[in-house]
Amino acid sequence: MLIKRGGDIRSGEITDQALYLNRRAFMVGAAALAFAPIMAAAGVPPPAGQPLAATRNKSFDLPDAMTKFQDATTYNNFYEFGVNKEDPSQLSGSFKPRPWKVQVDGLVQKPKTFDLDDVLKMAPLEERVYRMRCVEGWSMVIPWIGFPLSDLIKRVEPTGSAKYVEFSTLVDPAQFPGQKKGIFNFGGLDWPYTEGLRLDEALHPLTLMTVGMYGQVLPNQNGAPMRVVVPWKYGFKSAKSIVRIRFTADEPKTAWNKAAPQEYGFYSNVNPKVDHPRWSQATERRIGEFRRRETLMWNGYDQVASLYTGMDLKKQY
């Protein structure tokens, strides 16, 4: 997600994440590795974090192998903690995901500020295995825990004029070094990090209000305590640590589009035929694999195609 400033994307970001693992992450990984065969056999989550019960929704199961927990939690984009892949795991240890509130407002009949506990009780928690494709050219396969965002949306009753949904991440420079002025904040983003979806995209059954992964409460570096996951779009659409969900009539401004409009559009659907201005999107490197694989249209989620009928996907990228 780096914005071009003379140099190109650092090869380390898309080649060898192992180089980026610190000693602590290595130790956690070694422990996870020791337990891996037992866990895989018994379906038991890795031995870290607080367990979170959920029922696996097998209709989203994939033939793809799952990304290792250690990789999914140490190779992250979360610019509030810094721009390097290891910053979120290394710098989020003291982040406080509780108490937490999310304000849901804008063009709705019943605006409400929900406590995290209200959100956790809103709908039965499901485990869903989704592909995640980052715009930078790498991908993962992650067992998320959450419920369809539509369950939350229905509670606030959007008005007829609501056409879009805007998500905003917490602003708190005391907790997010990347939001402090200075060396950490060279990602070029304005805070809060905002993202947006069209209302029909937000209501799509694939769009997940996410509170956990790998059988446990969402780790801080992955967007605790709640984030969205929109698997047919590039990863940056999946805003982390959300404190506000606002319904609007107009397309909301989004963090990456504001920072580099020529590179990041509003829709950002995974599309191997529409290149990023500086690199091809035809293939991807699945973290943990070496040979690149072909990127699938809509990241393989063909069921969303009808949302975009009649649109020129090269223009509305």
The residues binding ligand MTE (CB under 6 A) are: 1, 76-80, 132, 134, 169, 193, 222-223, 235-236, 238-241
Taking the least distance from each CB to ligand MTE, the nearer of 241 and 295 is 241
Minimum CB separation of residue 14 from ligand MTE in Å reads 12
Minimum CB separation of residue 118 from ligand MTE in Å reads 22
Q: How many CB atoms lie within 10 A of CB 216?
A: 19
Taking the least distance from each CB to ligand MTE, the nearer of 77 and 114 is 77
Selection from 156, 162, 155, 158 nearest residue 248 by Cα: 162
Taking the least distance from each CB to ligand MTE, the nearer of 107 and 135 is 135
Q: Please tell me what DSSP assigns to residue 128.
A: E
Taking the least distance from each CB to ligand MTE, the nearer of 50 and 309 is 50
Residue 94 identity (one-letter amino acid) = S
Minimum CB separation of residue 131 from ligand MTE in Å reads 11
8 Å CB contact between 81 and 176: yes
Distance, in Å, from the CA atom of 277 to the CA atom of 275, rounded to the nearest integer, reads 6
Distance, in Å, from the CA atom of 273 to the CA atom of 270, rounded to the nearest integer, reads 9
Minimum CB separation of residue 193 from ligand MTE in Å reads 4
What end-to-end distance do the CA atoms of the chain give, in Å? Answer: 16
Residue nearest ligand MTE by beta-carbon distance: 235
Length of the chain (residues): 317
Minimum CB separation of residue 82 from ligand MTE in Å reads 10
Distance, in Å, from the CA atom of 29 to the CA atom of 182, rounded to the nearest integer, reads 32
Minimum CB separation of residue 310 from ligand MTE in Å reads 28
Selection from 220, 257, 227, 258 nearest residue 244 by Cα: 227
C-alpha dist (Å) from residue 308 to 50, 70, 200, 304: 39, 35, 10, 8
Taking the least distance from each CB to ligand MTE, the nearer of 238 and 299 is 238
Task: Pinpoint the alpha helices (H) of 54-100.
Answer: 69-72, 87-91
Minimum CB separation of residue 245 from ligand MTE in Å reads 13
Taking the least distance from each CB to ligand MTE, the nearer of 88 and 148 is 88
Distance, in Å, from the CA atom of 140 to the CA atom of 134, rounded to the nearest integer, reads 8
Minimum CB separation of residue 302 from ligand MTE in Å reads 22
Taking the least distance from each CB to ligand MTE, the nearer of 106 and 179 is 179
Distance, in Å, from the CA atom of 236 to the CA atom of 264, rounded to the nearest integer, reads 10
Burial tier of 251 (Cβ tally within 10 Å: 0-12, 13-18, 19+)? middle
Taking the least distance from each CB to ligand MTE, the nearer of 111 and 188 is 188
Q: Which residues is 233 bridged to in the sheet?
A: 269
